[in-house]
Amino acid sequence: MDDVDVLVVGGGPAGSTAAFRLAERGHRVVQIEEHPTVGRPVQCAGLVSRRVLDLAGSETMVRAPVRGAAVFGPSLGEVSFRAEAPRAYAIDRAGLDLYLAERAARAGAVLETAVRFDGLAAPVNGHAEARLTRLDGSTERVRARLIVGADGVASAVARAFRLRRPVEVLPAFEAEYASSPGDPDLVEVYLGRSFAPGLFGWWIPDGQGGARIGIAADADGTSARAYFERLERHVERRFGRPLPRPVSYLASGIPIGAVPRTSGGRVLLVGDAAAQVKPLSGGGIFTGMRCAEIAAEVADAALRADDLSARGLAPYEAAWRAEFGEEFRKALALRRVFTRLSDRDLDALIAALQGSRLAGTIVAFGDIDFPTHVARELLRESPSLVRLLPKALGAWMGGDAYRAPELEPPRRK
Ligand SMILES: Cc1cc2nc3c(=O)[nH]c(=O)nc-3n(C[C@H](O)[C@H](O)[C@H](O)COP(=O)(O)OP(=O)(O)OC[C@H]3O[C@@H](n4cnc5c(N)ncnc54)[C@H](O)[C@@H]3O)c2cc1C
């Protein structure tokens, strides 16, 4: 492979967004993807906000709008809300990835599939030299002025550049059903320690009469699949009938928590590789794509100034944290509280949320990309919610009194 300005590792939404933005600014970009086909295997429930469609500049991947949600407690008590206008979209996730990769290629990025980034050779003439392996086993090297690590939760780029990984990776397991009962206008969220300690289970319509059911849960020694199977039975109880055999399964991980550094000399991390994932939902398509746009802006300036040093690329860190840092910090703090709730607490939480006034608040303030806004409004309006939660939450609500968890762990002396 010829020398390039930028090697983008990963063919997901974050990688293709970065590749597109850099190629359209005239840089020589090669994007590699270890799988033979971009977008496959699918590792996602495919629920996104309008912002993702805006960032993609297309709606071709939309399967159906979603207008609201039903949230179930462990005893299947329910609170639901429905808005007039679409609140989210069920998409063809493989279609999104493919569309974004093609957009990058149209802008001039060269996409190479079935090529894996394996690590770094010693730096040569100030370039980063990447070791690559093709699916047929052949190896080669490519020299790049900058490497963008968009290679997901297990990022080999982050490891190669010795950038620390997120503290927590939630195992996730999901199955796709060709047909399913359920309201195609709503997503369903299932709370319960027995099947989703640490996050939740979901039922998401696929816009074609089927659905995706999945869980993400704490890595506590029980397999994600075992948790999933419990959820599947729980959902069947709710529907009052068995689900058909799934047509496919997926197992993956969701990075939760802050990565202390997402840039360094000749490297930027974007998307799941940088744990740019919403801590309360595990969703990362919008945040990863948006941060990839920020990365491309900073990289463009650094490439033009020929300063790919850690200092030259540091503005990326500041810029993406300015946009998402506060939301992520609050969401992490809220998540810490949420994960301490027992099943009884969760049932009580659902009971406290039942009532048209609070449902109205959810409709008015609900935003899947910035969920702490609605959480804050709900806590303001309902003292019974606050009573359920530890004192820490009082501080969280108090605005000024809110103390964000440290993004960077304290340095050892
Ligand atoms: C079960 C589940 C459900 C989810 N549902 C949603 C949802 O509904 N909505 C939402 O917003 N988010 C969801 N997410 C999160 C979302 O899928 C990720 O945040 C998003 O895919 C991150 O995009 P990315 O481009 O950073 O990484 P990825 O999409 O993971 O892409 C990384 C790419 O890099 C490739 N790669 C990895 N290593 C290498 C290497 N060494 N060399 C070359 N290529 C490599 C991979 O094959 C992959 O294609 C879900 C996640 C899971 C696990």
For 251-280, the pLDDT digits (tens) are 999 999 888 999 999 999 999 999 999 998
Q: What is the pLDDT of residues 331-385, one digit of tens each?
A: 888 888 888 888 998 898 888 878 656 666 666 656 777 777 767 777 777 666 6
The CATH 3.50.50.60 portion of the chain extends over 4-45+93-165+260-330
Ligand 1 neighbourhood includes 117 CB (under 6 angstroms): yes
> Cα of 171 to ligand 1 centre, how many Å?
13
Q: How confident is the model at residue 115 (pLDDT cuts 50, 70, 90)?
A: very high
* Residue 364 confidence (pLDDT): 60
* Residue 404 confidence (pLDDT): 33
Identify the weakest region by mean pLDDT among 189-198, 276-285, 320-329, 359-368: 359-368
**53-70 core/surface letters (b: 16 or more CB in 10 A; e: else):** bebbeeeebbbbebbbbb
DSSP reduced 3-state for 34: coil
Q: Residue 392: which of 344, 338, 354 has the closest Cα?
A: 338
Ligand 1 neighbourhood includes 49 CB (under 6 angstroms): no
> ω before 41 within 30° of 0 (cis)?
yes
> Cα of 54 to ligand 1 centre, how many Å?
19
Report yes or no: 177 and 65 within 8 Å, Cβ to Cβ: no
Q: Model pTM?
A: 0.91
Q: What is the pLDDT of residues 117-161, one digit of tens each?
A: 999 997 666 789 999 999 999 999 999 999 999 999 999 999 999
Ligand 1 neighbourhood includes 285 CB (under 6 angstroms): yes
- Partners of 29 in the beta sheet? 6
Q: How far is it, in rounded angstroms, from Cα 96 to Cα 289?
A: 12
List of E strands, 98-205: 110-113, 115-124, 127-134, 139-149, 168-177, 186-190, 200-205
Ligand 1 neighbourhood includes 201 CB (under 6 angstroms): no
Q: How confident is the model at residue 391 (pLDDT cuts 50, 70, 90)?
A: very low
Task: Report the CATH superfamily, name and number, of domain 63-90+168-255.
Answer: D-Amino Acid Oxidase, subunit A, domain 2 (3.30.9.10)
DSSP reduced 3-state for 236: helix
Q: Residue 50: which of 93, 88, 17 has the closest Cα?
A: 88
The CATH 3.30.9.10 portion of the chain extends over 63-90+168-255
Q: Residue 292: which of 302, 284, 303 has the closest Cα?
A: 284
φ/ψ region of 184 (left if φ > 0, alpha if ψ in -120 to 50, else beta) reads alpha
4-45+93-165+260-330: CATH topology: FAD/NAD(P)-binding domain (3.50.50)
> Cα of 272 to ligand 1 centre, how many Å?
6
For range 194-211, the mean pLDDT: 91
Report yes or no: 207 and 90 within 8 Å, Cβ to Cβ: yes
Q: Residue 252: which of 272, 232, 234 has the closest Cα?
A: 272
